[in-house]
Amino acid sequence: MPPAISVEPCSLCDYPSVVHQEYSGQHLCGKHLASSIRKRTSKELRQQLILPKDARHEDGTPYRVLVAVSGGKDSAVLLSMMYDILSRRRDVEL
């Protein structure tokens, strides 16, 4: 009988990992993978969307960010993540 497949534990907890991130060297479970992706997405948004602390216009209206979506899974996930990240800000509107 062949040996059983072994799965490395998550580098941040004891759950089985679902992915190995080559660039970080970490094995991550689903929860920590989602957290890592969200953190990287937030960082990239901060670099590309240069927003002041209060992004409202002079008349008080919120800053609008237009997101073009194709309807595919990738753009739907991107829109969902951008909403999760930016919806807390009352001075920004998607």
Q: Give the structural domain span for 72.
A: 53-94
37 located within any domain: yes
Q: Each residue of 9-33: pLDDT tens digit?
A: 999 999 999 999 999 999 999 999 9
Q: How many domains does the chain have?
A: 2
* Domain identity same for 35 and 17: yes
DSSP structure string for 44-67: HHHHHS---SS---TTSPPEE---
pLDDT exceeds 80 at position 68: yes
Residue 50 DSSP SS3: coil
**Predicted pLDDT at 60:** 84
2 located within any domain: no
Q: Each residue of 49-62: pLDDT tens digit?
A: 888 788 888 888 88
Paired residues of 93 in beta bridges: 64
19 located within any domain: yes
Paired residues of 53 in beta bridges: none
* Domain identity same for 41 and 66: no
What is the reported pTM? 0.73
* Domain identity same for 11 and 29: yes
